[in-house]
Structure 1
Amino acid sequence: MFTRLFGKPKEQTNALATLDKLNETLEMLEKKENLLLKKVAAEVEKAKEFTRAKNKRAAIQCLKRKRLYEQQVEQLGNFQLRIHDQMIMLEGAKATTETVDALRTGAAAMKAMQKATNIDDVDKTMDEINEQTENMKQIQEALSAPIGAAADFDEDELEAELEELEGAELEAELLKPATTAPAASLPSVPTGKQPVRPTAQKNTAEEDELAALQAEMAL
């Protein structure tokens, strides 16, 4: 983030520029090496032609030039090895520097966080949390405590009474008969014949009293 805001550090910029320069030099040496190898192959072909033409002196001259080219190829190879070694060392140093910078940045961030939240603030916060938790526990206990007449009940007496009820219930179950006698069957009524109901009396006691009252009024 700091790199995006303020740009890359000077050392990192120099390292990148150096790596670019080394890469360019390496590419140039490889091109020269390929060119020399082509010249070596060409001198070998010329030496073969002069040998077939029985021109020994010219063939030897071709071989001498071939040796010179080969020496240059070997030298270029050594140059490339040195550049590769330099690039490896520079890349390692760059990685080390970036790692140290990252660790330094992390340490600074941790230090800033520790300043923002010191141990005293943490202890104070934990004490407040514990106090609030204890207060809430007391409030819950107070709300769940029985009040009024229920507060005077003896739990032991209630449990003893419950045991008596359970014992009485168990005793009643044990004394209950194993089987129940079937209900007496009613006598069957012959099919097609309905039982004769007694005929209701026409005159009730009230009707008798009414008739007597009418007789007295007629007199």
Structure 2
Amino acid sequence: MAGNMFGRLFGKPKEEVSPLSTLEKLNETLEMLEKKENLMQKKIAQEMEKAKEFTRAKNKRAAIQCLKRKKLYEQQVEQLANNQLRIQDQMIMLESAKVTTETVDALRSGAQAMRAQLKTTKIDDVDKTMDEINESTEDMKAIQEALANPVGGMAEFDDDDLLTELEELEGQELDEQLLAPSTAAPATHLPSVPTARVPAQAGKAQPVRTEEDDELAALQAEMAL
């Protein structure tokens, strides 16, 4: 009974109106106003035609009545146009408010999700994860170093012994190059001595002198001295 009394005093609580239902209602109202405006436009055209007919019939009183109704319809058309502008303006504002609300809701949801995620992620967990990463990195380095070391027979060789043997080979190669005879040594030429020309006999071919012949002649000349 107390509830009924408070209900009569304060009335029933109003139901929350959603932006979507409001936009639908405004859109329906806008369509209704457009239909009424079209109807008024038709009536204005009809009254204008009647006024022309009465004017041609010399019925001035009836023509004036038609023009008066035409003026009334025009006033209604102007009022309907103003109402449509108000509804369109409200629809634009409501659309903007709807977009703003959805944006704020999305940002709020993102912030809540971030806070929830940060609550589950403790600083100790982060430190532990970083330690695991560093430990894994050190293990990887150790594995790579172990793979780089020689195994089997290669592990028995000493690098110092190999370097000593390499130096000996390089020394032997240098000695062989120094002791090898030079293939481009200049040849020793003895001084040439002019020889007497022997007139060539007719019909006989002159013998061809060789380098050995020249060297022999030079030797004989030197011995004669």
Is the TM-score greater than 0.5?
Answer: yes
How far, CA to CA, are the matches of 1:132 and 1:43 in structure 2? 93
Question: Which one of the candidate residues 69, 76, 81 is aligned to 1:77?
Answer: 81
Partner of 2:53: 49
- Label 1:164 to 1:49 Cα distance change in 2 as closer, same or farther (>3 A): farther
- Label 1:25 to 1:143 Cα distance change in 2 as closer, same or farther (>3 A): closer
Q: Give the alignment's TM-score, normalised by structure 2.
A: 0.63
How far, CA to CA, are the matches of 1:118 and 1:45 in structure 2? 85
| 3-state SS in 1 of match to 2:58 | coil
Cα displacement (A) at 1:170 = 7.0
How far, CA to CA, are the matches of 2:42 and 2:135 in structure 1? 88
Give the RMSD, CA atoms, in angstroms.
3.1
How far, CA to CA, are the matches of 2:52 and 2:181 in structure 1? 131
Q: Give the alignment's TM-score, normalised by structure 1.
A: 0.65
Cα displacement (A) at 1:138 = 3.1
Partner of 2:68: 64
Matched, 1:153 2:142: no
| 3-state SS in 1 of match to 2:18 | helix
Partner of 1:28: 32
Q: Unaligned stretches of 5+ in structure 1?
A: 1-9, 179-219
Partner of 2:12: none
Cα displacement (A) at 1:168 = 4.0
| 3-state SS in 2 of match to 1:90 | helix
How far, CA to CA, are the matches of 2:59 and 2:43 in structure 1? 20
User: How do 1:91-110 and structure 2 match up within 5 A?
Assistant: 91-110=95-114
Partner of 2:124: 120
How far, CA to CA, are the matches of 1:176 and 1:15 in structure 2? 108
Partner of 1:14: 18
Cα displacement (A) at 1:48 = 1.1
Q: Unaligned stretches of 5+ in structure 2?
A: 1-14, 184-225
| Structure 1 residues 123-174: Cα deviation after superposition (integer angstroms, max 9, x where no partner) | 221112212321342354356446899578243x533532442464577589
The alignment covers a number of residue pairs equal to 167
After the TM superposition, which parts of structure 1 deviate over 6 Å for at least 4 consecutive aligned residues? none
Letter in structure 1 aligned against 2:69:
R
- Label 1:139 to 1:19 Cα distance change in 2 as closer, same or farther (>3 A): closer
- Label 1:132 to 1:85 Cα distance change in 2 as closer, same or farther (>3 A): same
How far, CA to CA, are the matches of 2:24 and 2:97 in structure 1? 15
- Label 1:161 to 1:83 Cα distance change in 2 as closer, same or farther (>3 A): same
Identity %: 72
How far, CA to CA, are the matches of 2:39 and 2:97 in structure 1? 34
- Label 1:54 to 1:129 Cα distance change in 2 as closer, same or farther (>3 A): same
